Structure 1
Amino acid sequence: MELIEIDKFWTLIHDKLEGWLESGVKHLPNFVVAILLAILFGIIAKFVGRGVRNVLRRTLESKQIADLLASIIKAMVLVAGLFIALDFLGLTGTVTSLLAGAGIVGLALGFAFQDMAENLIAGIAMGIRKPFQIGDVIEADKVFGTVQTINLRNTLVETFFGQIEVIPNKILFRNILTNYSSTGRRRIEVPVGISYGDDPEQAAEKLVEVINQCEFVINKEETAVFAEGFGASSVDLLVWFWIKYPGQTGFMQARHEAIVKIKKALEEADILIPFPIRTLDFGAKGGEKLNTMLSSKHNNDKGENSANDSESTPQSEQGSNNEPN
């Protein structure tokens, strides 16, 4: 009885193995083709990744972003080849399960590393759009300086005080960013005040002539002086001129030289840059002027003093009359 059961057991195993063998032989061509497809897509991915990397390195400023994008494209080609090979073997359900699992894992990683992913995506987007390059002078989120390094997750900016600021890429991507190097020029504005006794037109002509004599001034036909308004003790003017930026002459040096030349030019033309002066005048709209008020107060004080003297005189005379002979 036991021998019969053992024979049945081995018969079942033999049938199962025979079925697997037949199935393996039947699917052997598909298996070979799937392996060849995987190898082929691996070779294609290698060449595609290398070609994309070379193109992106010439296009993008950051080599890290170029390498990352090339790696992503290479991985996509490999995954596509793997899915095609599995589908060729008839494992469609496996492919669907892998895609669903990859989506769930990607969603979980996205929530877990949301900040890092946002900086990474912002870095890739800026690498493609290129709002600034290494060496540009930018200002964003109260940081003003020169771009030193562009990474995948952050950008290093050296301020004009000599410190290195590490700015997350999402801040540069979200907020307003000013690139002072994109146009290659920058305008300098110098406010100056002249006295009310001087002619603003004469001062403007003199200042335009003097500013255009500076070697660092470009687009000299656009150099101008405008009257900005009436100040407390002066007519306020605004001097505009353009410089090459970044250039051999820095912004601070150019403004310094311009202010020095403006002062000398106004002194030579006998045009006064007044000190702050305050004049109190209460005569507007029917009120009394200050000198009238002071004069009236002086007269009143003088009259009171005279009245006090006259009151004290009779008492002294009366006292003298009452003295005995």
Structure 2
Amino acid sequence: MQDFNIQDSIKGIWDKLEGWMDTIILGLPNFLLAILVFIIFIFIAKYVGKIFDKIFHRSIKQDSIRQMAVKVIKAIVVLIGFFIALGLLNLDTVLTSVLGAAGVVGLAIGLALQGTLNNTFSGLILSFLPELQIGDWVETNGFAGSVMEINLRNIVIKQSDNNYVIIPNGKIIEEPFKNFTRTARSRVFVNCGVGYSSDLEMVRDLTIKTIEDIFPQRGNEEVELMFQEFGDSSINYVLRFWTDVSKNRDILIAQNTAIIAIKKAYDAKGINIPFPIRTIDFTNKLSINKNSD
């Protein structure tokens, strides 16, 4: 009786092995094809990565972002090959399970790293924006300076006082920023005032002529002077003219040059730039009464 049970057990194991061998033999072509497809997609990912690296090299100056973008593209291509290989093996159930697990894991990671992922994707967006490049002079989030670095987490700005400011990428995407470098020329403003006794038309013509000689205007550009108000001690105006500007310092230099030139021109013509003064008028005379003996 015992020998009979052992023989049945051996026969059952052998039948199982035969069934597995049949399955392996029948599935071997698909298995080899799946491996071949997966290897092909690995090579495709490699060459696609090189192509996109050359493309990104023209538009993305930051190496870390370019390398990360290439790695993401290569990983996507490899995953496509992996899913196609699973389909060739008729592992639809496994494929569905993998996709479901990936979705759950991705959701959990997304919730845990919400801020970090926001900055990462914002960094990828910023790397493709022509409005913001390394070396540009920008104003954003209350800071102004030259963009020194754009990475997957933040941008680094070097201010005019030589200090560095690190701003998260999400803040740059969400908040407006002003880029001085993207426009070759900008309008500069200078405020001034002249005395009430001045000939305003002569002041206007002289000021415009002085600025035009220093800052030649192009095309439709022009020097504009508009009187704004009757001040306490002067009639005030705003002067506007165009010049080459790539950073905030260029504006300060242009304003400095314009103010010096205007002062010299006014001094030569005897035009007064008044400053607030206070006049004290004593209307009553002081008298000392002396008692006579």
State the match for 2:226 in structure 1. Answer: 226
SS state at 2:213 partner: coil
Counterparts of 2:72 and 2:132 in 1: how far apart (Å)?
Answer: 24
Counterparts of 2:265 and 2:14 in 1: how far apart (Å)?
Answer: 110
State the match for 1:47 in structure 2. Answer: 47
Residue deviations 1:185-243, cap 9 Å, x none? 122211111111112211111111111222x5543951121101111111001111222
Counterparts of 1:204 and 1:191 in 2: how far apart (Å)?
Answer: 13
State the match for 1:78 in structure 2. Answer: 78
- Extract structure 1 runs of 4+ deviating beyond 6 A: none
State the match for 1:133 in structure 2. Answer: 133
Which runs of 5 or more residues in structure 1 are unaligned?
281-289, 317-325
SS state at 2:255 partner: helix
Counterparts of 2:10 and 2:153 in 1: how far apart (Å)?
Answer: 63
Residue deviations 1:244-278, cap 9 Å, x none? 1128x833222212111111111111111112145
The residue identity in structure 2 corresponding to 1:126 is: L
The residue identity in structure 2 corresponding to 1:200 is: L
TM-score (normalised: structure 1): 0.83
Alpha-carbon offset, residue 86 of structure 1: 0.8
State the match for 2:15 in structure 1. Answer: 15
Q: Does 1:57 align with 2:57?
A: yes
> Given that residues 53 and 70 in structure 2 are in contact (C-alpha distance below 8 angstroms), is that contact kept between their aligned partners in structure 1?
yes
> Given that residues 59 and 127 in structure 2 are in contact (C-alpha distance below 8 angstroms), is that contact kept between their aligned partners in structure 1?
no
State the match for 1:320 in structure 2. Answer: none
> Given that residues 232 and 277 in structure 1 are in contact (C-alpha distance below 8 angstroms), is that contact kept between their aligned partners in structure 2?
no
The residue identity in structure 1 corresponding to 2:76 is: M
State the match for 1:3 in structure 2. Answer: 3
Task: Name the stretch that deviates more: 50-59 or 176-185.
Answer: 50-59
Give the number of the structure with larger relative contact order, counting CA–CA contacts within 8 Å between residues 6 or more apart.
Answer: 2
Residue deviations 1:65-117, cap 9 Å, x none? 22222211111111111111111111001001111111111111111111110
Alignment of 1:167-178 (within 5 A): 167-178=167-178
The residue identity in structure 2 corresponding to 1:36 is: L
Q: How many matched pairs?
A: 291
State the match for 1:322 in structure 2. Answer: none
TM-score (normalised: structure 2): 0.91
SS state at 1:219 partner: coil
Alpha-carbon offset, residue 57 of structure 1: 1.3
Residue deviations 1:136-185, cap 9 Å, x none? 11000111011111112111111001111111111111101000111111
> Given that residues 49 and 70 in structure 2 are in contact (C-alpha distance below 8 angstroms), is that contact kept between their aligned partners in structure 1?
yes
Counterparts of 1:160 and 1:78 in 2: how far apart (Å)?
Answer: 46
Alignment of 1:1-325 (within 5 A): 1-214=1-214, 217-219=216-218, 221-246=221-246, 250-277=250-277, 294=283
SS state at 1:182 partner: coil
Counterparts of 2:229 and 2:218 in 1: how far apart (Å)?
Answer: 26
The residue identity in structure 2 corresponding to 1:120 is: T
> Given that residues 183 and 246 in structure 2 are in contact (C-alpha distance below 8 angstroms), is that contact kept between their aligned partners in structure 1?
no
The residue identity in structure 2 corresponding to 1:219 is: R
Alpha-carbon offset, residue 63 of structure 1: 3.0
Q: What is the root-mean-square deviation in Å for CA atoms of aligned residues?
A: 2.3
> Given that residues 217 and 244 in structure 1 are in contact (C-alpha distance below 8 angstroms), is that contact kept between their aligned partners in structure 2?
no
Alpha-carbon offset, residue 279 of structure 1: 7.0
Task: Name the stretch that deviates more: 13-22 or 148-157.
Answer: 148-157
Task: Name the stretch that deviates more: 27-36 or 253-262.
Answer: 253-262
